[in-house]
Amino acid sequence: METIIALICILLSAALINNFVLHYFVGICPFLGVSRRVDMAIGMGAAVTFVISIAAFLSWTFTYFILRPEAPLPTAVWQAMGGDSGVKVDLSVLSYIMYIFVIASSVQFVEMYVRKFFPPLYKSFGVFLPLITTNCAILFACLEIMKNLQDPTNLWGLHHALALAIGGGGGFTIAITLMAGLREELDLCDVPKPFKGPGIALVVAGIMAMAFMGFTGMADGVKTALTNLLMK
Amino acid sequence: MASNEPTAMERFINGILPENPVYRQLLGMCPVLAVTNGMKPAMTMAAATAFVLICANIIVSLIRGVLKPHLRILVFTLTIATFVTIADRALAAFLYEMSKQLGPYVPLIIVNCLIISRCEICASKQELPVAVADAVGMSIGFALALASIATVRELLGSGTWFGVTILAEGWWPRWGIMVLPPGAFLALGVLLAVAEWYTHRRELQAK
């Protein structure tokens, strides 16, 4: 039960309370660039959610077994090589290079796979896939997972990592779709000339961020409510 | 090299204002919005980005002869990731508080589109001096843009500049919203409009 509550809290927190775009400012480039039409925004959101889940799965695996302090694999190698068993092996200095490599190669792989086996899907969001390599939201999710795998007494499991990825991707989709809807309306408005394009988009995003600030502090309330509901 | 290619000096000037990475090209928006709630984090970020940009441009320019076209993006990102790791470790060692405050945004320099686009557009095609001049110019332009946004946000939001009180507590009500996430969007939106308006007016005057 407690696990389920923790998972729901991570999911909600990543999707709404600390929205990736409007609270952490990651994924701003597609948020401004691909938010002109609602259908394209949904396609981009789906692509990001998909890649973020794969990247979260891979980065959790690599971090848990190889990169975190006192990870099992390098420790075993170190001791097999005859190293001092009192030494704590920590490869976390390699994590950034590892993550970016994982993201870039999984994006390439997903693109090839989707193009070969799901041509209609590729037509609808395949064009966004190469852009996603440089989407900060993916790397940010990996870094969040890494942050929660540092303390050996309180480690995230794979399910926590996946909840964060799906919540974050969902939050990105919500934000970019709302933005696209607003911008479709904005096209019909008489915007002052200097504000045309990115200027007004950013101001609109600012107002949206204010609205999302209303979710601040919801985490504790949700936790209490869920505990009361499920623990009875 | 073709004679119509911009020289090193032109590249240098270009990055500062005419092709300012933030205001003209809208590149590298994540750190621009995330770390500009004060001058100190903004300038640390600008310095880290400048270090990574210049080093990555040097390396990419030196190895441009052996780059394979289909692998170049991967090579760029791995080069950048290496230098970001160096910058991150250095910050954690010498400016621990600041490194805690910047948090994930230092590693996020890896996916800053500004650096990849300079590697792709300039460094992978130019000789070393041109690439370095371009990187330095872009870094200065990026730092100026960060400074402008951070100045607005810190002054309005907490009445200070580099932590020094400018607007006294009594007569200046703090605009708390400016140091929070929405303030970043609002400040950048308004500043973009001001830059746009200024460029437009300059063009009209030139006619």
pLDDT digits (tens, 9 = 90+) for B22-40: 887 777 788 888 888 889 9
Q: List Cβ neighbours of A113 (8 Å cut-off, separation of 6 or more).
A: none
Q: Can you give the pTM of this predicted structure?
A: 0.86
Given pLDDT bands bounded at 50, 70 and 90, which one contains residue B2?
very low
| Angle subtended at Cα B193 by Cα B43 and Cα B115, rounded to the nearest 5 degrees | 40
Is pLDDT above 90 for B87? yes
Helix, strand and coil content of chain A, in percent to the nearest 5, comes to 75, 0, 25
- The nearest alpha carbon in chain A to B34 belongs to A25
Q: Determine the distance in angstroms separating the CA of A175 from the nearest CA of chain B, rounded to an integer.
A: 14
A119 touching B, CB under 8 A?
no
Is pLDDT above 90 for A19? no
Closest CA to B39 of B122, B111, B143, B125: B143
Instruction: Compute the distance between CA of residue B105 and CA of residue B88 in angstroms, rounded to an integer.
Output: 10
Q: Which residues of B touch A104 (CB under 8 A)?
A: 73-74, 77
Q: Which residues of A touch B116 (CB under 8 A)?
A: 134
A14 touching B, CB under 8 A?
no
- ipTM for the complex shown: 0.82
| Residue indicated by tokens 């969007």 | B185
**Cβ–Cβ below 8 Å for A207 and B110:** no
Structure tokens of A104?
Answer: 């870039």
Chain-centroid distance, C-alpha A80: 37
- Phi then psi for A125, rounded to 5 degrees? -130, 10
Mutation target vs A (from B108, B120, B152, B180; most A CBs, 10 A cutoff): B108
| Mean pLDDT across B97-121 | 85
**Cβ–Cβ below 8 Å for B82 and A97:** yes
Give the closest of A27, A133, A203 to B185, CB-based.
A203
CA dihedral A53, A57, A60, A64 (to 10 degrees): 170
Q: Is B165 in a helix, a strand, or coil?
A: strand
Instruction: For residue A132, give the amino acid letter.
Output: I
> Is the distance from CB of A145 to CB of A60 less than 8 angstroms?
yes
Residues of chain A with pLDDT > 90, as a percent, come to: 11
Hey, what long-range contacts does B160-168 have (CB within 8 A, 24 or more apart)?
B160/B38, B161/B39, B162/B39, B162/B40, B163/B38, B163/B39, B163/B40
Beta bridge partners of B161: B164
Residues of chain B with pLDDT > 90, as a percent, come to: 19
What is the structure's pLDDT at B93?
Answer: 92
- The nearest alpha carbon in chain A to B182 belongs to A206
| Residue indicated by tokens 């964060």 | A164
Which of A105-109, B34-38, B165-169 bottoms out in mean pLDDT, i.e. has the lowest? B165-169
Give the closest of A135, A143, A209 to B182, CB-based.
A209
Structure tokens of B3?
Answer: 């004679």
> Is the distance from CB of A185 to CB of A35 less than 8 angstroms?
no
- Phi then psi for B164, rounded to 5 degrees? -95, 130
